[in-house]
Chains A and B, each alone.
Chain A
Amino acid sequence: MPGGYAGKFLEVDLTSRNVRDIKFSDEVLRQYLGGRGLATKVLWDRLGARWEEVDPLGPENILLMFTGPLTGYAPGARLCVSGKSPQSNGIVGSTIAGEFPVELKCAGYDGIIFTGKAENPVYLSVFDSDVEIKDASHIWGKDAKETLKVLVKEGREALAKSRPRRGVWKEPAAVYIGPAGERLVRVAAVVGKWAHAAGYGGYGAVMGSKNLKAVIAKGTGPLPEAADMEKAVEAAEAISRINLRYTHLRHWGTGYLGYDVGARLSAEPVKNWQEEWHDEKSYSADKFEPFWAKRFWGDFGCPVTCLKLAVIRSGPFKGAITDNPDYENQAYLGTNLGVFTAEGNIYLTALIDDLGLCGIQCGNVLGFAAELYEKGILTREDLGGIDLKWGDVEAFASLVRMIVERREIGDVLAEGTYRAALKISEMKSVDALKYAVVAKGIGIGAHGIRSGEDYPHHETYVCSVQGGDHTSPAYIPLDDDLSELTVALYDSGVVCWFNFFEEGTKDHIWGLIKAVTGWEITPEEWYGTSARRIIHTQRVALLLGGPDIRWDPKTHDDIPSKWYKPLKAGPYAGKAVDRKIIEEAKREYYEAIGWDENGVPKSEELRRLGLEEVDKKAEALRG
């Protein structure tokens, strides 16, 4: 068996409550590694034939929580969550940091496949090979802090009962959903450690649709053995040593960007992307720092520690606890809503953490609603009496609660920006889609392209198989450090991208893969075959879509219409995106990656990679 793998996966049928171990061949593991890659393979094998009919929030969807061979060995351990996405109707590899994947591997499992739907709310407990589906009715409806408190308590009690003389038990690790996921809010995340989330994809709603509140894991074994332990440690240490020089992320996390991306790069969403520039010094990193109770908040084995712990100890937002907030939350729950105070942003971030929402997707839909209010399309009455003015923290907090409770307009917005835009267009006889900043149903990350100064390219959100996911950018050249073919490697590893940002770190990953698994995977193999299998399969699934929405590359391989309008202010005022350049970038990307002129993976390319079944389904897309 290759090193780094526990050697088996858990399959849990929530309908029948049947639990069994399953295995994948070494060949499949070598081709797909784990995480996003293997999830794509499993989803296609099981659902591909009738992909368009599978309701992402129905019992026929499957939910995957996969580690990878490098998880726990590479600095920055992550878990990849996947399934058919209720946002894009495609496949999203959504990752979350923390100790959960390490515990799972130490328990002897590389991942978990959930099928079906539990009759009543449940949570899964994995204690080495003892796997139990437990009642969760007492924590259903509870927020993150209460949920985790109960899970830690019950988990430790169960551990102590099973081995009473062992001593004090360290807590099991947990991932869970908040009330948002329970109510199938499509912008709900899979959450851990209060402020960690797998947000993109909307898998919190998938957990909710399966009546699955949480998963806890405790593994008492060692991390599955590496093929060459000495070399594995050497490579991991080399990566860590480089990362230790990465002082800005270590010191401020991405939380120094809330001011920077707006003021310097002019690429930050301001008031639902009506602007991308601001010079609000009230929003610079030094204004957040006084709230940090802890500057270095690292997960298992992470030298980067981009998370900081923010606490508000006095004033109207007293009691709010969250991370930095990181840049995405600073932007989407700050500047995008016209909020330019650290307290307001920390409060809103803590609120969405507690309720189990994705800060990006939720902030995207909040900004969208606020612009519709500004334009008079949504009235105060529509909003249940809320005067949704830019910068009004309490007003936005009220709307967040309406979304989670699916009250009135909240029920529409809970469907995410794209679906809400369709609905509101219908309700108000307007084109609300022109206010939506989304790509293939997924709210776009907080990095604009109009100024041309930030990292995304013209093709980035147009061609990404994960839609608006700023952590999976379509990029030319395909083997660029920021390309989604590269990210697919980290997401399949499963490791944190932030540990592979600094120059020189990525060079060590091939050696680390060799040392841990024993496989000599070359960059040529990854970029030429493995990554393409994943990306092409994700692309075909995305275009098949369904059942409620499908994407036509001619229409939907595009940027939000707003971005064709010039920036209004700042050093890049007047800059806009040229439609011709988008078309060019799109064609160039299709060509480079092996898609035809309609954006469908070419038959010979799919067959070269052994993806005959994918090709058969792609045939229908080729028209």
Chain B
Amino acid sequence: MWHEGKIWPEASRVRVFMLVPGVEVPHLCVQCHDYPCVKACPSEALSISPETEAVIVDREKCTACGLCIEACPGDVPYIHPAEKYAVICDLCGGDPQCVKACSEGGWDALKLLKKSENYTYKVYAKTPEEITREVAVQLYGEVGEEVV
């Protein structure tokens, strides 16, 4: 909504995967400190926001080559469904709309914190399959293995 001005699940910076029912897992940039995606970009389309330290995609420069997807340990970026550029969470310029929606919805599952230098966020960069497997086993026990 915030970026596109319309309801567009396939263009959302937060994609919610449901490879297994009940195991809905949000998939989005985890804010790695070492920026493998930025380093992998051959066309200088990716940069780091000085304010938020989030990755910023320059739509003009991006060629939609997909190298950032390969470089990301969680395969998080993807190519916009209608235009030729990579989609990566930019923290909505410092005011993440997902956090707002979550709080307005009374779920309070998301909270805005300051980025810490002492924590390796990168460990959370996982593919939807990896996250699904972990959560499915947590939720369903042994059956979790079978249903994935």
Contacts and interface: CB of A to CB of B under 8 A. Distances in A.
Interface of A: 72-73, 99, 102-103, 106, 145, 148-149, 152, 163, 165-168, 170-171, 193-195, 219-223, 225, 229, 233, 240, 244, 293-294, 296-297, 300, 303, 309, 311, 313, 319, 321
B81 interface: yes
A168 B75 contact: yes
B101 to A, nearest CB: 10
B78 A166 contact: yes
Interface string B1-44: 10011111111000111111110000100000000000000000
A73 B27 CA distance: 23
B8 A171 contact: no
Nearest 8 CB-CB pairings of A with B: A167-B78, A220-B81, A222-B8, A223-B7, A193-B21, A222-B6, A165-B66, A194-B21
B19 A171 contact: yes
Contact of B7 (A145, A166, A222, A240): A222
A319 B8 contact: no
Nearest to B128: A168
B10 A170 contact: yes
A167 B17 contact: no
Contacts of B21: 148, 193-195
Interface residues of B, number: 40
Contacts of B8: 106, 221-223
A152 to B, nearest CB: 6
10 contacts: A99-B9, A106-B9, A167-B78, A168-B127, A195-B21, A219-B10, A220-B82, A240-B105, A294-B22, A296-B107
A18 to B, nearest CB: 28
Nearest to B129: A168
Contacts of A73: 7
Contacts of A293: 22, 139-140
Contacts of A319: 142-143
B11 A311 contact: no
B56 interface: no
Contacts of B65: 165
Contacts of A148: 21
Contacts of B78: 166-168
Given A221-B81, A293-B22, A311-B140, A167 B7 contact: no
A170 B81 CA distance: 12
Tell which of B7, B8, B141 has the most Cβ of chain A within 10 Å.
B7
Contact of B10 (A106, A145, A297, A311): A106
A195 B20 CA distance: 12
B98 interface: no
Contact of A303 (B17, B69, B105, B141): B105
B141 A311 contact: yes
Contact of A311 (B19, B64, B82, B139): B139
Given A294-B22, A303-B105, A102 B139 contact: no
B130 to A, nearest CB: 11
A404 to B, nearest CB: 21
Contacts of B18: 99, 171, 193
Interface in B59-90: 64-66, 69, 75, 77-79, 81-82
B9 A297 contact: no
A152 B21 CA distance: 11
Interface of B: 1, 4-11, 15-22, 27, 64-66, 69, 75, 77-79, 81-82, 105-107, 127-128, 139-143, 146-147
Contacts of B81: 166, 220-221
Most A CB contacts (10 A, CB to CB) among B1, B10, B27, B128 go to: B10
B147 A149 contact: yes
Nearest to A194: B21
B142 A167 contact: no
A306 to B, nearest CB: 14
A219 B143 CA distance: 31
B22 A309 contact: yes
Contacts of A233: 1
Nearest to B4: A222
Contacts of B106: 244, 303
A106 B12 CA distance: 13
A167 B9 contact: no
Nearest to A193: B21
Contacts of B6: 222-223, 225, 229
B107 A145 contact: no
A149 B17 CA distance: 14
A300 B9 CA distance: 10
A167 B142 CA distance: 30
Contacts of B27: 168
B141 A165 contact: no
A300 B105 CA distance: 13
Contacts of A193: 18, 21-22
Given A167-B69, A220-B81, A309-B22, 12 more contacts: A72-B7, A99-B9, A167-B75, A170-B17, A221-B81, A222-B8, A244-B105, A293-B140, A303-B105, A303-B106, A311-B140, A321-B143
Contacts of A171: 17-19
A220 B15 CA distance: 12
Nearest to B143: A319
B40 to A, nearest CB: 14
A406 to B, nearest CB: 27
A152 B64 contact: no
Max chain A Cβ within 10 angstroms of own Cβ: one of B1, B66, B143, B146: B143
Contacts of A163: 79
Contacts of A297: 22
B36 to A, nearest CB: 15
Nearest to A168: B75
A165 B139 contact: no
A296 B4 CA distance: 28
A240 B17 CA distance: 23
A167 B105 contact: no
A167 B66 contact: yes
A255 to B, nearest CB: 15
A19 B75 CA distance: 35
Contacts of A145: 146-147
A148 B9 CA distance: 21
Contacts of B75: 167-168
B79 A165 contact: yes
Nearest to B78: A167
A165 B140 contact: no
A197 to B, nearest CB: 12
B9 to A, nearest CB: 7
A166 B79 contact: yes
A127 to B, nearest CB: 11
Contacts of B66: 165-167
B11 A309 contact: no
A309 B139 contact: yes
Nearest to B69: A167
Contact of B140 (A99, A149, A170, A321): A321
